[in-house]
Amino acid sequence: MDRGISDMKGQHRYRRRTGITFALALPASHSGRRLECDSTYVAMATPADSSPAPHVLVVPCPAQGHMLALLDLTGLSRGLRLTVVATPATAPQLAPLLSAHPDGAVRALTPPFSSHHSVPAGVESAKHLPPALIVAFADLRGPLLSWARARADGPDRVVAVLSDFLCGWTQPLAAELGVPRVVFSPGAVCGTAVLQSLFRRMPRREDERDDDSPIALPDLPGAPVFPWRQMSELYRTGRSGRATTSPRARWRGR
């Protein structure tokens, strides 16, 4: 019964590629703060007419294995105007992307990073404090909502949100703006598919004391089975119907 990730990859030839996962729109409170934007941004017109190109808000997760991958994808954009969110400490990582688009098609949005009781002053990257930083990053939802709404009736109107799968709070942000959210995953398609299956079906182990209890994923190719201990820690520690006021719930946008 112990068929692991390696078996699944071998049978179905999963390759490490950027994946698309899912998120649910969930309510949360928000507050407003002033945002600062790169002043070099200018409206970019589409070749076909004089109207501005579609404007997309890009929200990378401030973690080195996530942010750089999404910035690489952002650099491949064609015919779009992009606003990329960064903290003051991670903003320098946008320099190559901004210099590659001197026409102003890409700009940086650097909101002041809020203080958080679990995040030391000056820490703005998951490289230094992964779990707490990702939770604190969700506090940007309110300021970004205010920023986008202020542009809702003009040429800078946001038409979509592209964000890392760890930024679940951007799903309700996009819903409040009435625009779609596209989810970016820097991980393998296999891992992304497993997480999607888990959180949609919410299977539980038969014996709560058995870490080798088999968990079947019948909606994936080959209907793989994994031991409970190989499931995501976030999934293993969660409970269906649990109150969603915890920091982790806020990170997921609840």
Alpha carbons within 13 A on the beta-carbon side of 181:
25
- Token readout for 145 is 């909502």
Q: For position 238, what pLDDT does the model report?
A: 67
End of a domain among 139, 166, 184? 184
Same domain, 160 and 199: no
When comparing pLDDT for 227 and 20, which is higher?
227
Mean pLDDT of the chain: 70
Beta bridge partners of 214: 227
Same domain, 175 and 88: yes
Same domain, 196 and 100: no
Measured CA to CA, the distance from residue 10 to residue 25 in angstroms comes to: 35
State the catalytic residues. Answer: 66, 164
Same domain, 162 and 227: no
End of a domain among 152, 184, 216? 184
Query: In total, how many domains does the chain have?
Result: 2
| Banded model confidence at residue 133, pLDDT cuts 50, 70, 90 | low
- Whole-model pTM? 0.63
End of a domain among 184, 207, 236? 184
Measured CA to CA, the distance from residue 121 to residue 119 in angstroms comes to: 7
Measured CA to CA, the distance from residue 244 to residue 28 in angstroms comes to: 10
Q: The domain containing residue 100 runs over which residues?
A: 55-184
